[in-house]
Chain A
Amino acid sequence: MTPLRINVSSDVPQREALLAAASRIHNLVVVDSEAEADAIVACGDLGKWPKDLPVLQLGELSTNAPTNVYPALPNRFDPHAQAIRRRLDAGDLGKPGLVRLHVWNPASDTLNQRNKIDAIDLVQWLIGEDIESSFGTQSQANQVIHLGFVSGAMALIDFYDHLPADDRYRSLTVVGSDGAAYADDHRDRNLFFASGGMNAKPPATGHACLGPMLEDFASRMNDRDDATHAQRAYRAAETIVKQLLP
């Protein structure tokens, strides 16, 4: 198989991490110019990119994005989410009935609209159905989204971005008819006692989604897949965010 040649735009915030991830992927080669590339990884400014090249877009998807632009949907490639999805695909958990997701960031890393779209996309992707109903509410610093899915499945997501600096908390629970999976930073934390205090920190997995995300993109390019399905998932999540968290 000929490796996919990608060009990583300079506007990508995690560019170094992305290049490092790409260097490990057998069927992917990073090239320096758009002219040499089969595809582009970019963050924003869609109009700038050649219309005939596929684009993996990490930033917000513009309203008139053509079908060569793939929204990145990075949360699907988080290692915890991947592990749960494998168990769902294997049938170990049965039919998903509930997804509970807590997304907490420090004040220094405010959750933006794209972060919230990605969170809703993750829930949709795990349940594998269309959203039937939605409800949102919030307290001072905490936004809540309550979703219902066509077959009766349900989800609760909450967003909070006032944790202390450098801290971060994620908790993802999927309850299926035959079992449940719990991916929770509460379980993942290790204890460090130093300087008269105690810290509980999870091992870093911040960029672990990038490699699988690029591999998936390369695979889609190889299969000549277009971005219709990914765009549809993105738009469904975007609609919820715009309706409930304006």
Chain B
Amino acid sequence: MAAPSEMPMELQVNVNGRVRTVRIEPRDGLFRVTVDGETRLIDAAAIDDTTFSLVGIDHGHRSEEVGLGEIGQSGELAVHLSGGVVVARVSSGPGRFGRGAGGTPQTAGRQQVVAPMPGKVVKVLVKEGDSVRVRQGLVVVEAMKMENELRSPKDGRVARVLVDEGTLVESGRPLVEVE
């Protein structure tokens, strides 16, 4: 019988908006990793706490380096692969990260437009009750010497304007609600 510390572990990981079931089983210094029923034998080495070198022993000995970067306090991880970056989060299981499904943006219902970076609101282009089209400019935020126009995520109506011209905003601060 395996020692408790060698017990397999199973958890749900949301990758690019799709929930995947991942099972990790240590085996003779390697790992049997199963993702949604597909199993591979992987030689995994931690380069540091957030960087892993994976060699697919039964997968053509494919060598891949994967880097994990936390995205703010959101619980989401930017997973850096050789082909690019995907967004992931642990959605259930023994993880230390936030729970709940991440996912693709939705366009139904009321949508908040938030400040994507810290800066200063230099122009509010709409008022409550205005009809707006998708990608129509709502607010202009100045950061790093450039003016950035934030646009409507959908066709709809401006439900609320939450900032004034001149307001200093932090990243993530809601600016306008469109319904």
A and B interact physically: no
